């Protein structure tokens, strides 16, 4: 992607206030669903405000994460994701490669719902540092996970309304005991002027699953790709907003009506660590992903063969590490 134009332009990332829906206002719910439909069709990215995830919890999580990432390498390596069949735990800088020619300049720490070691695909136990090494991290990260999981369920209800489906259409998919969800925190090291054009925080990619919710700090770095003009565009951090984007699974499910957009995290010159926390709700592994009826126009045929969610995810995860 390095050869593509990277000049800034005026692609607008929609900002949607969901507070009216959460307040039970039917008129607002219809308006928000319409805004979401438009944003999911293009550009496939938007930001939301009016949610109920406390600012104090978000700030406390970033503080606890900065303390965790400052731990000695040996302490973090003891929690390495290679010890987990479901990718839980620590990930070192440069370990993942999503864009040819670039190793991702980030380290990560991933958690999800706690399951026994013999659980289903992408499920299992978390790996945590000792409490004395990272006081309060487990408590705060777990509390944040529950809040963001609930927000994702809200977004899937709005997604259903936006597709002219029953509001509860996706409830079993995202709300079952066996639904796959995960939260991955990232630290991006400071970047020198010499390294800024030679590295990526995260290489260009589309997300694998259904829906992503991202909390970014005020430094930012997220960019989305505008295919018609072949240009990259910053997603400017907005106070108290979450970035939401469509993944490949939802694009397939909606017969390409909703868009899974290429995006990356650049490495702008910075003397500070940068942080982000991404939440992925991938749903039930046995769910058959086939064209949603309301996404098929008269005379139109499905663009994709039906596939189980787990099979789709296995193929994508296998190609990124």
pLDDT by residue for the chain (321 residues), tens digit each? Answer: 333 434 345 578 999 999 999 999 999 999 999 999 999 999 999 999 999 999 999 999 999 999 999 999 999 999 999 999 999 999 998 655 555 555 667 899 999 999 988 888 999 999 999 999 999 999 999 999 999 999 999 999 999 999 999 999 999 999 999 999 999 999 988 876 666 665 556 778 899 999 999 999 888 889 999 888 899 998 999 999 999 999 999 999 999 999 999 999 876 667 788 899 999 999 999 999 999 999 998 889 999 999 999 999 998 876 554
Angstrom distance (rounded) from CA 99 to CA 263:
10
What beta strand segments (E) does the chain contain?
15-17, 45-49, 89-91, 107-111, 180-188, 200-205, 211-216, 222-226, 231-234, 242-246, 263-266, 274-283, 288-289, 307-308
Closest by CA to 295, choosing from 176, 98, 113, 159, is 159
State the chain's maximal CA–CA distance in angstroms.
Answer: 63
Angstrom distance (rounded) from CA 62 to CA 67:
9
Q: Are 311 and 86 in contact (CB under 8 A)?
A: no
Q: Name the token pair of 29.
A: 């719910």
Dihedral of CA atoms 183, 224, 294, 157 in degrees, nearest 10, equals: 40
Burial of 315 (0-12, 13-18, 19+ CB in 10 A): exposed
DSSP state, residue 5 = B
Its pTM stands at 0.91
Strand-pair partners of 185: 109, 277
What does the buried/exposed string (b/e) look like for 86-116 if buried means 16 or more CB atoms within 10 Å of the residue's CB? bbbbbbeeebbbbbeebebbbbbbbbbbebe
């Amino acid at each position: 992607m390095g050869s593509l134009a990277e000049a800034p332009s005026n692609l607008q990332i929609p900002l949607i206030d969901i507070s009216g829906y959460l307040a039970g206002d039917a008129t607002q719910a219809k308006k928000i669903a319409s805004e979401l439909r438009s944003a999911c069709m293009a550009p496939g990215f938007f930001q939301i405000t009016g949610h109920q995830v406390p600012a104090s919890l978000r700030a406390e999580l970033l503080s606890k994460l900065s303390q965790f990432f400052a731990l000695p390498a040996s302490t973090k390596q003891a929690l390495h994701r290679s010890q987990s069949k479901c990718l839980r735990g620590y990930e070192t800088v440069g370990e993942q490669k999503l864009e040819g020619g670039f190793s991702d300049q980030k380290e990560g720490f991933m958690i999800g719902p706690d399951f026994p070691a013999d659980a289903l695909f992408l499920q299992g136990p978390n790996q945590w540092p000792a409490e004395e090494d990272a006081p309060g991290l487990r408590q705060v990260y777990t509390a944040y996970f529950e809040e963001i999981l609930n927000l994702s369920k809200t977004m899937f209800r709005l997604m259903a309304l936006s597709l002219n489906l029953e509001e509860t259409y996706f409830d079993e998919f995202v709300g079952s005991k066996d639904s796959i969800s995960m939260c991955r925190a990232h630290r991006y090291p400071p970047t020198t002027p010499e390294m800024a054009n030679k590295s990526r925080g995260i290489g260009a990619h589309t997300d694998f699953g259904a829906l992503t919710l991202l909390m970014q700090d005020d430094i930012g770095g997220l960019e989305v790709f505008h295919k018609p003009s072949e240009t990259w565009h910053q997603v400017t951090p907005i106070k108290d907003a979450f970035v939401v984007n469509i993944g490949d699974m939802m694009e397939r499910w909606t017969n390409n009506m909703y868009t899974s957009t290429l995006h990356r995290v650049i490495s702008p010159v910075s003397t500070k660590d940068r942080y982000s926390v991404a939440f992925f709700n991938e749903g039930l592994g046995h769910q058959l992903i086939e064209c949603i009826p309301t996404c098929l126009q008269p005379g139109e045929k499905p663009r994709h063969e039906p596939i189980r969610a787990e099979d789709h995810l296995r193929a994508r995860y296998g190609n990124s590490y």
